[in-house]
């Protein structure tokens, strides 16, 4: 069996690889990376490191040759770029003879109005239309996305949000990575299934309160409108290019786009995600680094 992980040097990919290499022989594992030099640690373990670029279909056909089970971790960028890249990768996988695809999608992708949803709606459709056996993992929000808010609190700022009382099924990347690696290696069990991977639902205020308990102090939660939020983020040094995304995320949470109640984590990894208290404790440690 030959497994492949794309984006294997990224935040999620690194954690997937850690779990995968604990389960299978490194010689059965390949990675697709844009910069081969960054994957030196994998090649030293015996992993087959291959150059990949989702903008180049012909290159990706070669990259995917001999791979039977493939994890496609969704790429970064604007929606049009991501849709093109994912479509290219799926086309290449079909031409290369890949038998099974795992794809990291978005919570409630089919019905979601979140600005990111179009990417995953079209990518999921492309996978289904390819005829390749698949598992789609609809990941909710990574708790690590709140590191910057914790860092602000550590520097004495309030926790700023325009999400109001919107709830999110946050979980740590390590739980999403564990689910991805598990599905990748468990043959037939997850064929043509779609899983909604969400943790227990919490508001921004509840996350901030948990941070306060760990730090031993009360955290001020500043609920503002989008315009004020944008002004505060800009003054905090957030790059202008990130601003539209941040505003859309706050809007999406406010409109309950990530309020997904589901226990599919338990179906795959046999337990719920790491409890909030422990997960936020890890978040605070990350923020302090």
CA atoms within 13 A on the CB side of 211: 28
Scanning the structure block, which residue is given the tokens 């996350």? 207
- In Å, what is the CA distance from 81 to each residue of 54, 77, 229? 10, 6, 27
Model pLDDT for residues 53-63, shown as the tens digit of each residue:
999 999 999 99
Strands 167-168 and 202-203: antiparallel
The pLDDT, as a whole number, for residue 289 is: 87
List alpha helices for the chain, DSSP H: 11-20, 40-44, 57-64, 79-96, 117-130, 147-154, 173-185, 204-215, 226-235, 243-254, 264-269, 276-288
Dist. CA 12–CA 24, nearest whole Å = 18
Query: What residue ranges define each of the domains in the chain, with the CATH number in brackets?
Result: 3-139 (3.40.50.720), 141-170+198-260+273-289 (3.90.25.10)
Q: Mean pLDDT in runs of 10 for the chain (289 residues)?
A: 96 98 97 95 97 97 98 96 98 98 97 96 98 98 95 94 96 98 96 97 97 95 96 89 92 96 93 96 95
The pLDDT, as a whole number, for residue 203 is: 97
Q: Please calculate the CA angle 134-40-4 and round it to the nearest 5 degrees.
A: 10
The pLDDT, as a whole number, for residue 2 is: 96
């Amino acid at each position: 069996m030959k497994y492949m992980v794309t984006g294997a040097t990224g935040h999620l990919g690194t954690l997937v690889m850690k779990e995968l290499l604990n389960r299978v022989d490194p010689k059965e594992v390949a990675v697709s990376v844009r910069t081969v030099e960054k994957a030196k640690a994998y090649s030293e373990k015996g992993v087959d490191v291959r150059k990949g670029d989702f903008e180049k279909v012909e290159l990706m056909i070669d990259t995917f040759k001999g791979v039977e089970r493939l994890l496609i971790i969704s790429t970064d960028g604007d929606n049009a770029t991501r849709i093109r890249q994912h479509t290219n990768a799926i086309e290449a996988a079909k031409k290369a003879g890949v038998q099974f695809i795992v794809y990291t999608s978005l919570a409630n992708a089919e019905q979601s109005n979140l600005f990111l949803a179009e990417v995953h709606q079209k990518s999921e459709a492309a996978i289904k239309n390819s005829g390749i056996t698949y598992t789609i993992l609809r990941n909710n929000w990574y708790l690590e996305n709140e590191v910057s808010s914790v860092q602000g609190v550590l520097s004495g700022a309030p926790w700023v949000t325009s999400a109001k009382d919107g709830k999110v099924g946050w979980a740590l990347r390590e739980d999403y990575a564990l689910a991805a690696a598990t599905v990748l290696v468990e043959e037939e069990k997850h064929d043509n299934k779609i899983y909604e991977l969400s943790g227990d639902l919490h508001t921004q205020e509840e996350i901030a309160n948990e941070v306060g308990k760990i730090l031993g102090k009360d955290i001020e939660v500043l609920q503002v409108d989008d315009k004020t939020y944008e002004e505060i983020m800009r003054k905090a040094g957030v790059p202008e290019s990130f601003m539209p995304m941040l505003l859309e995320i706050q809007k999406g949470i406010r409109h309950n786009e990530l309020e997904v109640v589901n226990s599919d984590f338990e179906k795959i990894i046999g337990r719920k995600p790491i409890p909030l208290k422990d997960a936020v404790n890890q978040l605070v440690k990350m923020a302090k680094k």
